[in-house]
Chain A
């Protein structure tokens, strides 16, 4: 990467990381949410719900082991939406104008911003995985390395989804409403909290929705990578979805769309 690009990436990542470190509540909230699921919700269901041998697991696993990859994906999903909120905020507060008037291609500036947020989400994921290990969730040691590319890709997918969504949110006040329509259906209609064969026993329609839900594929990509198994269908879906969301996001922030015209206007 030539110097101006590398410097810009460093500058953008540095800004995002500094902002993140100054928002300790955000870091704590990002960890507390999945830990509550793991230590409270999963503990409660552990006795009632075991999961029979389902790939990539080679033995019967307890419920808390099953949902750990789903909680990792949940961290990344929330982080992607947080990144979307931050983009809407920056658009309203003017920060996006400073970024997008830099003399570098707009796609690169937006991608650098997304990538910086992915790094932050990966940091959160590894802290969560370390705490989960203390709670008895112990995937193979190599799995912690093998999962890194999967986390990069899923983090980019959620970030790109957030960027595309941020283009449709015209005011900060509308953010929570839009997110409720995105986060909860994605999370609950997926394989994050229960295996899909159990969903199918309950409802074929819901099973169908779970299968086309990109969150399901993100969870499975992370789950398989963490247990050192490839999952080509999930990889294909996540790669394709990432590409589509990136293209939509880049298109939404094109000057011809006048995205930055929105919000408080001068004359």
Chain B
């Protein structure tokens, strides 16, 4: 498997009982790229993220993170990965700082480095004053931002973000998308961003379109639109996912 790619998926399949959720999914995520994983609800995006994060095991297929086979290496393969789950995962009874410290400890960050990165992360997302706030007291958007700070805390080289802007207002969504793009640019980290919102995808982003558990298009967002012959990504997406829309 190629060491030059941040993430390599090959012929990945998964079923819930007899119901297939993913079939032969194959694509790469380049280092430093922002890759949008676009698909309608039920396309298999969260299942795919769960497989990469080792919450399930694929059968058959393979996943390699920076050239390390996840099935063989186990949890160790997740060291360069930062994850924002679709479902909120902060501990509501702890403060923002306590949540971040807990995560830093799980990833083996020394205390001083943790202090500095918590300060920097909260500052970058304009929330230094919330450090001692209990998570329960924060709004949905604020909690999401804390989760993003947490995912960046150990400076991951691969970010997995599963619909991280669901439920947020438009300015907050735009700010988070900008921030992740900036991190990819500045730190060379790769991001795999699952979404069903067309406006979160930029023309220069890499794009993988998932529909009914299969990859129906992959390439740069601009290329995908050109190849489809559609006027815009929205139209191209509608054409590519028509099978689902037409389903009873």
Contacts and interface: CB of A to CB of B under 8 A. Distances in A.
B163 A266 contact: yes
B101 interface: yes
A3 B108 CA distance: 7
A267 B57 contact: no
Interface residues of A, number: 37
B237 interface: no
A239 B75 CA distance: 28
Interface stretch (B4-12, B25-33, B81-89, B167-175): B81-89
A125 B76 CA distance: 37
A147 B56 CA distance: 41
B89 A106 contact: no
A15 B102 CA distance: 7
Interface stretch (A45-53, A209-217, A257-265): A257-265
B88 A102 contact: no
Contacts of B46: 265-267
B73 to A, nearest CB: 9
Interface residues of B, number: 45
Given A3-B108, A100-B55, A102-B107, 20 more contacts: A7-B105, A11-B106, A14-B101, A14-B102, A15-B102, A93-B92, A97-B87, A97-B89, A98-B103, A102-B78, A102-B106, A103-B78, A103-B79, A104-B106, A106-B75, A256-B57, A266-B46, A266-B86, A266-B162, A267-B47
Interface in A1-22: 3-4, 7-8, 10-12, 14-15, 18-19, 22
A244 interface: no
B102 A11 contact: yes
A8 B88 contact: no
B137 interface: no
| Residue of A94, A98, A109, A261 with highest tally of chain B CB at under 10 A | A98
14 contacts: A3-B108, A8-B105, A19-B91, A93-B89, A94-B87, A97-B89, A98-B106, A101-B53, A103-B108, A256-B56, A258-B57, A261-B50, A266-B163, A267-B43
A105 B54 CA distance: 12
Given A102-B107, A104-B106, A94 B89 contact: yes
Interface in B17-38: none
A104 B53 CA distance: 13
Contact of A103 (B16, B56, B107): B107
Interface of A: 3-4, 7-8, 10-12, 14-15, 18-19, 22-23, 93-95, 97-106, 109, 254-256, 258, 260-261, 264-267
Interface in B43-95: 43-47, 50, 53-57, 74-79, 81, 83, 85-94
B55 A105 contact: no
B57 A102 contact: no
Contacts of B90: 94
A261 B53 contact: no
A11 to B, nearest CB: 2
Contacts of A14: 101-102, 105
Contacts of A15: 91, 94, 98, 102
Given A255-B55, A267-B42, A103 B104 contact: no
B55 A261 contact: yes
Given A94-B88, A94-B89, A267-B42, A101 B83 contact: yes
B55 A99 contact: no
A106 B78 CA distance: 12
B121 interface: no
A97 B89 CA distance: 7
